[in-house]
Amino acid sequence: MSTTRILFSASEEYFTAAERQIREEFPNATVERLGPDLGGVAGEDLTLGRLAAVAAKRPFFFVQYLSEEIRRIRPADADLDKVADAAAEIAAERARTSDPLAVHSWVSGTSPFDYGSGQLQKRIGTALEDLGHRIVRSGADQIVTAAISRRGVSLGFTTSGDCVTEWPGGRVRLARPKEQISRAEFKLEELLRETGDLLPSSGRAMDLGASPGGWTRILRERGLEVWAVDPAALDSRLTDDQRVHHERTTAGRFLESTATRFDLAVSDMRMDPVLAARVMLDATARLGDGALAVVTLKLGTRRPLETVRNAVDVLSRRYEMLLARQLQHNRHEITYVGRLRERNRPAGTSRRRRADDQWR
């Protein structure tokens, strides 16, 4: 039986946690570190589809990208044209010419070559166009991948359903808008790009720990009426918005006093992850049926996997997990998205699958 090799990327600081989760699920697999945030896993009983399915279901909190590695070109042989020709051979074997094709190229660490990911992506794209493929930046179901590391260039192939995210190596590139209030906005913006229409675009939202108001701004831009909860001031650009209600108090006092029913609760507060999870449990008393919760779980580098699991266990008492993953703009944290469980159904009770089950 042939051995399948799979590339995965994870934050450099949490690479060990990502590796540990993979080994827990596939104890017979071999894991190697190719670069600071790039790894390879191989095993006779392992396929990309199987690993991707497990990563989505468990989920793998720290894995940010997946692709099958079909060919690894050593540094001595990684001439730009030779790499592009090898990528074209992979596309000729795997890709359907009737469908658009994306090229994902990225560097783990520092490129040992006189070219970078942009040059490689462009050269591979040209080679694929010569074969008759229509190349797009995003939205393609089939993807040729090229990861540069000190080990050489790892070429592979993946699909939109298996790769975790449509960004090369999981590295989301977002432009900073002139109206941005804080860099924390990137986390929510990335989540919205990842989950599409999962979050509501109308109704009422509570933003716990809102100051200075970055997440509130994005939620308002999306169409929600927002209760921004924080004793500290909001950015002056939000104060004249009649659909922003600044509650200058703590999250706990607000949840005890408000009678408003919400469709969404978000929290990016700096606190212990289990405590943050318990706050979101308190928030369920003010959420309507089927409401969503988004919370960032702040981590250290000591026992991060246990820390996340403990917080997720608390959240699972009242929420169905739709997503829990370290996004590119999460530095020392995991973003969790959950849907409020039906109030008369305890955790673990089966039910009919919903369309949003893809985010589990």
- Report residue 332: phi and psi, to 5°: -120, 60
Structure tokens at 25: 């699920």
Active site positions, annotated: 298
Determine how many CB atoms are found less than 10 A away from the CB of residue 130: 10
- Taking the C-alpha atoms of residue 115 and residue 123, their distance in angstroms, rounded to an integer, is 11
Going by C-beta distance under 8 Å and a sequence separation of 6 or more, which residues neighbour residue 250? 229, 231
Instruction: Please report, in tens digits, the pLDDT of each residue of the chain (360 residues total).
Output: 467 899 999 999 999 999 999 999 999 999 999 999 999 999 888 999 999 999 988 899 999 999 999 999 999 999 999 999 999 999 999 998 889 999 999 999 999 999 999 999 999 999 999 999 999 988 899 999 999 999 999 999 999 999 999 899 988 887 787 788 898 989 999 999 888 778 999 999 999 999 999 999 999 999 999 999 999 999 999 989 999 999 999 999 999 999 999 999 999 999 999 999 999 999 999 999 999 999 999 998 889 999 999 999 999 999 999 999 999 999 999 999 999 998 655 555 433 333 333 332
Q: State in Å, rounded, how far the first CA of the chain is from the last one.
A: 32
| The model's pTM | 0.90
Distance CA 64, CA 324 (A): 11
User: Using CB atoms within 10 A of its CB, is residue 259 exposed (0-12), middle (13-18) or buried (19+)?
Assistant: exposed
